[in-house]
Structure 1
Amino acid sequence: MTTARSSAAPSAAPFGRTLCAMITPFTEEGALDLDGARRLADRLVTEGCDGLVLSGTTGESPTTTDAEKAALVTAVRDAVGERASIVAGVGTFDTRHTVELALAAEKAGADGLLVVSPYYSRPPQDALEAHFREVADASGLPLVLYDIPGRTGTRIEPETVIRLAEHPRIVAVKDCSYDFLGTQKVLSRTELAYYAGCDEHNLALYAVGAAGYVSTVANVVPGQLRAVLDAFDAGEPAGAARLQQRATSLIELTMSSGLPGAVTVKGLLNALGLPAGPVRAPLRPAGREAVDGLLAAYEQLVAV
């Protein structure tokens, strides 16, 4: 039987299908917790993640130093070996600094680079394109464009993405654009691997040809989210939809409760006794009510 997936699949999923936007564990004193990072990374890969994205939004990258970012890549590589891909977040609002981080991530053992649109300065599309090309030219690693205009203030417009797809090392997009039509337009005109960056879109984007997801919620339920794509690949779209729907409450509380994902995920991981620790200022920890709600949604999901 030919599954729905076979006709929609992109040419490649360069970093796997099921990626986790991993939190960055800290000690109670606020230092980088490399032992916790190793233990969390091992758990995530063992329970279903094909890849780990480090030092992204959920990884609190604006508050970690360059040295901490490189040390995190090294530690996670040590923990997972070749069992999973490692994509390192290196994007900043400064092209020169982004290039420096890209080279450091390559040296530390990353398999790919996640590069967000430069934030605050809001460059026009021609400057944005030049920024990504310069970073892609700087190292030998493949690059993932990170389109999240709600945080950066700048959209990577579909036509810009289509032009950037011509670069041999620009291979993928983490899509937080909330522009479903624009995403399908790029999918129809390029071979870029798209990864859903918003957990509520994991199945929807996969069904129209995305490579998979980069999930924040996977920090706590990697197996349950992988099961959605596995069901779809097995030719069971209705089953995949049911599994996606079962995760909706936890997704909503994690991502749409008015708190950043790093805050909600760390609150839940701490409550479950898993590596996480505090968030760094200016973020503040989740309150008891928020954590109790997250725990209830988690327990309901894993009990099914």
Structure 2
Amino acid sequence: MTQYSGIWPVAPTPFHPDGSLDLDGMRRVLDCLIDQGADGLCVLANFSEQFLLSDAERETLTRLSLEHVAGRVPVIVTISHYATTIAVERAQFAKDLGADMVMMMPPYHGATLKGSPDQTFEQFRAVGEVGIPIMVQDAPMSGVDLPVPLLVKMAQQIEMVKLFKIECALVANKMRALIEAGGDAIEGPFDGEEGITLLADLDAGARGAMTSGMIVDQIKPVITHHLAGRIDEAVEAYTRVLPAINHENRLCGWRSCKAAMVEGGVIGSEFSRHPIEPLHPAIRARLIDLLRRLDPMVLRWGKS
């Protein structure tokens, strides 16, 4: 595998039932993901519930994660913000603490404040001057269109823009076009959105995936087989995990990983802060049933 390949899951943020941060639980989350075979980790992403965290909590979690991982695998810190100065400050903070990369969406705030192509380019260029590799997150949540020519321009003209997490509609088509247009400047094309289109994205040239932390050990073989040219084995591995991924993607979101980690004794609570509602008991029960059929490490990690 290249420097930017493999499976790089998003670490969930555990809370106590009263809504306070579970810092010991966070350490266990990181250890569990590494033990599952993660090639890298991402913290403070959308699946980390970054939009439910205060600035002080972000700093606490960044510091804790980097200190606890201690170089065992690379760590990406998410720094998205509408204000370019704040995105730059977050990037510098992450770099100073030893982060390997940062991830950011284009500038947006709500449904109407969206960065233009020029504003998006300028924000990424400003963060690039911090001198830390950047993963561009092309996610529907931002509502900002990132056309292939803009992404290629960023890759070719901003030295630190090296990775691309593509999770928009028709991902494989866009990924293929991005790689064809950008060539060697597209160093790390990554699949996202829990791996729901992982096989097609690997066919299109993806080198890795940023999934949730739910079943890292079960999804990783899809990537390793495919990158090694063992396509039949990759298809078989993908077919095996797809029902659980589909249930996660369509019905659970980040709550699925927390439910699995509670079930496996990794963390003590799957609480999410208001206004997020807990999983419906039937949806949760089906999730755990689908996971048990895979016998993933997450369901055993805290019970050994």
TM-score normalised by structure 1 residue count: 0.89
Q: Supply the distance in 2 between the matched residues of 1:112 and 1:18 (Cα, whole angstroms).
A: 15
**CA distance in structure 2 between the aligned counterparts of 1:93 and 1:281, rounded to whole angstroms:** 23
- Look up the SS of the partner of 1:168 in the other structure: coil
Q: Which deviations, in whole Å up to 9, do the C-alpha atoms of 1:201-253 show, x marking residues without a partner?
A: 2232223321200001xx12111111112222343211110111111111111
What is the rounded CA distance, in whole Å, between the counterparts of 2:287 and 2:200 in structure 1? 24
Asked if the contact 1:102–1:135 (Cα under 8 Å) also holds between the matched residues in 2, the reply is: yes
Q: How far apart, CA to CA, are the structure 1 residues paired with 2:227 and 2:294?
A: 21
Q: Which stretch shows the higher mean deviation, 49-58 or 111-120?
A: 111-120
Structure 1 CA distance for aligned equivalents of residues 222 and 210 of structure 2: 14
1:3 corresponds to = none
Q: 1:174 aligns with which of 165, 185, 201?
A: 165
1:128 paired residue number? 120
CA distance in 2, matches of 1:227, 1:79: 26
**Structure-to-structure mapping, 1:114-263, within 5 angstroms:** 114-119=103-108, 120=110, 121-137=113-129, 139-148=130-139, 150-166=140-156, 167-179=158-170, 180-190=172-182, 191-192=185-186, 193-198=188-193, 199-216=195-212, 219-257=213-251, 259=252, 261-263=253-255
Conservation of the 8 A alpha-carbon contact between 1:155 and 1:177 = no
Question: Does structure 1 residue 58 correspond to structure 2 residue 47?
Answer: yes
Query: What's the offset of the Cα at 1:162?
Result: 0.5
Tell whether the 8 Å contact from 1:73 to 1:86 is kept in structure 2 after alignment.
Answer: no
Q: CA deviation at 1:117?
A: 1.8
SS in 1 for 2:48: coil
Gaps of 5+ in 2: 297-304
Change in CA separation of 1:183 and 1:230 when aligned onto 2, cut-off 3 Å: closer
Tell me the SS of whatever aligns to 2:9: strand
For residues 3 and 206 of structure 2, what CA distance do their matches in structure 1 show?
9
Distance 2:228 2:106 in 1: 36
> 2:70 aligned with 1:77, yes or no?
no
**Mapped contact 2:191–2:209 kept (Cα < 8 A):** yes
Identity of matched residues, % = 23
Verify the 8 A CA contact 1:262 1:279 in the aligned structure 2.
Answer: no
Match of 2:302?
Answer: none
**What's the C-alpha RMSD, in Å, of the aligned pairs?**
1.7
Matches of 1:181 and 1:221, distance apart in 2 = 26
Deviates more, 1:95-104 or 1:17-26: 95-104
Asked whether 1:294 is paired with 2:294, we answer no
User: What 5-or-longer segments of structure 1 have no aligned partner?
Assistant: 1-8
Which amino acid in 2 is paired with 1:290?
I
One of 31, 34, 57 as aligned partner of 1:68:
57
Contact 2:39 2:74 in 1 (8 A): yes
- Secondary structure at the aligned position of 2:201 is classed as helix
SS of equivalent to 1:146: strand
1:269 to partner: Cα distance: 2.2
Distance between the aligned counterparts of 1:34 and 1:147, measured in 2? 30
Cα distance between partner residues in 2 of 1:262 and 1:136: 29
Greater Cα offset, 152-161 or 265-274: 265-274
* SS of equivalent to 1:174: strand
Aligned to 2:301: none
Give, in angstroms, the shift of residue 101 of structure 1: 1.4
Q: 1:114 and 1:107 mapped to 2: Cα distance? A: 16
Residues 166, 190 of structure 2: 8 Å contact kept: yes
Q: Distance in 1 between matches of 2:226 and 2:99?
A: 29
